[in-house]
Amino acid sequence: MNSITDIATVRVWLRDARAIAVLTGAGMSAESGVPTFRDAQTGLWAKFRPEELATEAAFRADPQRVWDWYASRREMMKDVRPNAGHVALAEYQQRHPGRLTVITQNVDGLHQAAGSVGTLSLHGNIFDDIWLDPCAGAHGFGGVCDVSRAQPGRPPTCADCGNLLRPGVVWFGEMLPAAALAAAEDAAQTCDLLLVVGTSGAVWPAAGLAHTARQGGARVVVVNPEPSELDGVAHALLRARAAAALPALLAD
């Protein structure tokens, strides 16, 4: 059972928790000015079809369109700044070393920019460039072409083998980075309290971490001004925005 609860109750739970994990989604960065995906009016997936932009098949079908869309998102994100929620998490980690693990689905790098240590980025980083295909042969050091030497273009290409650069984000149907996912599963399994902040809980395996934490005996608290698919897993719901709730929750 869960109920809409107050910040004071969750602060007591946080004080009692030896290990804390925080799973964040696009709502975490909403107050930094980054649009979410599933908001009915402003969400990216309200305006664009994800299968045309966020899959490997879409990129192979129209690399320029997909590259340009991610380039415009990079442009939009390059000047955004961490909000009070990101800062509260980072400062808590500094005051309580080793106690709080940040697991994020966000690709904007704002937890890292705020100074969070050991952030587990499940969906990559939008500012990274990676090759679309594995390099076929002896192109440069270790048989791997150097992404920094790609020829400019939309997308940039490898002069030796024609490989295309793509953004280093996880697209639908792709595996999550194995080491980050394993560390996130471990953090969820072993934490005493999981805060689920600003995610619809619609995308797996990230959403499964809330179930893992609950099954592992942790208290699960959802921080979201709207209902989410993870409300049923939570012991408590805080109907609040991330940038307001996290500084209040993590003041100790």
- Binding region for ligand OAD (CB under 6 A): 25-27, 30-31, 36-38, 43, 50, 105, 107, 123, 169-170, 198-200, 202-203, 224-226, 228, 241-242
**Residue 139 C-beta: closest distance to ligand OAD, Å:** 29
Nearest-CB residue to ligand OAD? 27
CB nearer to ligand OAD: give 37 or 131: 37
Q: How far apart are CA 165 and CA 158, in angstroms?
A: 8
**Residue 227 C-beta: closest distance to ligand OAD, Å:** 8
Quick check: 104 and 119 in contact, CB under 8 A?
A: yes
How many CB atoms within 10 Å of residue 102? 28
Q: How far apart are CA 207 and CA 27, in angstroms?
A: 14
CB nearer to ligand OAD: give 37 or 67: 37
Quick check: 220 and 234 in contact, CB under 8 A?
A: yes
C-alpha distance from residue 198 to each of 15, 39, 53 (Å): 22, 11, 23
Tokens of 58: 């879409």
Q: How far apart are CA 74 and CA 71, in angstroms?
A: 5
Would you call 123 a catalytic residue per the annotation?
A: yes
**Residue 247 C-beta: closest distance to ligand OAD, Å:** 12
CB nearer to ligand OAD: give 58 or 203: 203
Q: Which of 86, 96, 111, 123 is catalytic?
A: 123
**Residue 145 C-beta: closest distance to ligand OAD, Å:** 25
Residue whose C-alpha is closest to residue 209's, from 25, 10, 4: 25
CB nearer to ligand OAD: give 157 or 199: 199
Catalytic positions, written as ranges: 123
